[in-house]
Amino acid sequence: MPRPFVAYLRVYEPLSVLDAPLAVKVRKALEAGPIPRSEVGDRERELWLRSQLAKKLLPGGSHFEVMTISPAEVPTSDAARVGPGPLVCPLDLRARSAAALVGFLASAQPVLQDAALSIAPETVRARASAVMAELSAGAVHVISTTWTVPLPWFAMVDPAQRRVVLASAQDDPERQVSWRVAMADARRRVARALKVVKTALGDDGPAKVLADTGRWLEHFHPHSAVELDYGGLVQLVNDKDLLEDSSATDVNAIVDALETGDAEEVALRYESLREFWGELARRERHG
């Protein structure tokens, strides 16, 4: 079975800055062993499925997973600092599952809710809200999106710092595309892109994504690291197209072109993005 077609934004905070309750959980998880990147998608899928029964997810807190990286693995500008290590990313699976469940209750028809849930929706909503309230930072450390990457996310990374790992097969779990960036650099890049985009295009669309992303980043320690990871999306793209993907370069070029009023460059870069991500959108629609 292929991994879920999910991409991620992750925040890795220094273990030393976490408050006591969360730090205890993280240390315990680290003793058991951090979850390998290659297993994240399958582990999340397992819990998403369990969460649909509500009883499995909401009353207990037994599911706690963490990823970890070293500060040495994070490129930084002269104005940014990351660490000290280890840098840890709690996957916040219970909270993210609870949030997904709340979203399901808000959007699904009553007949579908009745078929999917084993207890009353009001009870599920109350328990889910309680789970989300457990977050010490007030925000999950991971944001995920299916089948695509929101294009404004690329504004926070340096295109030159892309990490590409090809493997023996397109569905090899070790295959990856990702970027890492110091929190201070990510915040600076997002703030600059938001200012440019709002001036050129207004407050909706890309500006809203950038504003929401900027607010999310503010929940975490300034010496953290941010990772943009294609996750399971790499299964949908062959090696040649993966290596030639210029999404981060194109988005950053669009921000520069919007700032200088170069409409021709904006159109050229957007066409490149539309071609690459449009193909993934067609895969979603047609399976």
pLDDT of residue 57: 47
Residues 6+ apart with CB under 8 A from 256: 265
pLDDT of residue 70: 96
pLDDT of residue 40: 87
Give me the torsion for CA of 27, 28, 32, 33, rounded to 10°.
-20
- Tokens found for residue 13: 């905070």
pLDDT by residue for the chain (287 residues), tens digit each?
778 899 999 999 999 999 888 899 999 999 999 998 888 888 877 766 665 554 454 444 456 889 999 999 999 999 999 999 899 999 887 777 666 666 566 666 676 666 656 667 676 666 666 666 666 666 889 999 989 999 999 999 999 999 999 988 998 999 999 999 999 999 999 999 999 999 999 999 999 999 999 999 999 999 999 999 999 999 999 999 999 999 999 999 999 999 999 999 999 999 999 999 988 877 766 55
Q: What is the pLDDT of residues 238-247, one digit of tens each?
A: 999 999 999 9
pLDDT of residue 83: 94
Q: Which residues pair with 176 in a beta bridge?
A: 165
Cβ–Cβ under 8 Å, residues 271 and 134: no
Q: Are strands 142-146 and 87-90 parallel, antiparallel or unpaired?
A: unpaired
The b-or-e profile of 185-205 (16+ CB within 10 A means b, else e) is bbbbbbbebbebbbebeeeee
Alpha helical stretches, state H, 1-150: 20-32, 40-51, 93-107, 110-116, 121-132
Rg of the chain (C-alpha set): 19
Q: What is the pLDDT of residues 54-72, one digit of tens each?
A: 445 444 445 688 999 999 9
